């Protein structure tokens, strides 16, 4: 379960080449993500995703991200990437999520866009059919906006107020400079980054990947550090 590891879980998403993948693995990323969405600059076709996924096998959990996939697309993605987790980042209903998990036997993580407190109600709707839930910034209502990876943050205090944070992964505008604050404020046990470790859309920066993982690990470590013992008062 996400969050059981005292050092938390870190996902680097939108990987498209071996250099970026190796940087993520070398720095200890827990999950690596491969995007299956042609409109995204982070999309990778299955022929190129297959060897990357094979390279990551046993080193990190492999996540395949899809947007409203039909059954044929799910089948092709699972055959090529063999992911430990299928991330659904579209408008999939709880019923559709449950159907995919049952039909294909793959753990599912559902992305939920958050912009206001009312959006948090969706989390309860997806708790049962999902293995994990990713809370992301709700995309803008513009034609060019992507379902995710827009580099936008949302009010993290909304997540802070949740009573049950088990299985939640935080995403949306995270980067090496703000991930520590996000972890400390929200209390989540897992974080996800894509655009926040890029030089340009779809072009991952190994140095920023290393910085992000280092900052996130430090924040998880600090949050879970036992309180210092009160110094004994002098007589």
Residues acting as catalytic residues: 13, 136
The per-residue DSSP string of 179-234 comes to HHHHHHHH--SEEEESGGGEEETTEE-HHHHHHHHHHHHHHHHHHTSPPPPPPPPP
Q: How far apart are CA 212 and CA 83, in angstroms?
A: 23
Strand 198-200 to 203-204 pairing: antiparallel
Contacts of 232 (CB under 8 A, 6+ apart): none
Angle at 221 between CA 220 and CA 227, to 5 degrees: 115
Angle at 93 between CA 162 and CA 74, to 5 degrees: 115
Give the CA count within 13 Å in the CB-facing half-sphere of 55. 20
- The DSSP secondary-structure symbol of 129 reads T
């Amino acid at each position: 379960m996400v969050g059981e590891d005292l050092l938390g879980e870190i996902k680097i998403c939108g990987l498209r080449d071996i250099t970026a993948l190796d940087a993520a693995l070398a720095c200890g990323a827990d999950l690596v993500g491969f995007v299956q969405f042609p409109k995204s600059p982070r999309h990778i076709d299955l022929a190129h995703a297959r060897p990357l996924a094979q390279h990551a096998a046993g080193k990190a959990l492999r996540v395949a991200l899809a947007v409203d996939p039909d059954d044929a697309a799910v089948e092709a993605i699972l055959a090529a990437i063999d992911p430990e987790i299928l991330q659904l980042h579209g408008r999939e209903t709880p019923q559709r999520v449950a159907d995919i998990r049952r039909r294909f036997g793959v753990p599912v993580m559902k992305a939920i866009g958050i912009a206001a407190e009312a959006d948090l109600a969706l989390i309860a709707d997806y708790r049962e059919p999902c293995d994990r839930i990713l809370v992301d910034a709700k995309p803008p209502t513009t034609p060019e906006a992507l379902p995710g990876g827009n580099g936008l943050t949302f009010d993290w205090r909304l997540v802070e107020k949740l009573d049950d944070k088990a299985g939640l992964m935080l995403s949306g505008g995270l980067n090496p400079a703000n991930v520590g604050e996000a972890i400390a404020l929200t209390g989540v046990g897992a974080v996800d980054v894509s655009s926040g470790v890029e030089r340009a859309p779809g072009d991952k920066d190994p140095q920023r990947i290393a910085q992000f993982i280092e900052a996130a690990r430090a924040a998880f470590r600090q949050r879970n550090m036992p309180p210092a013992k009160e110094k004994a008062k002098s007589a």
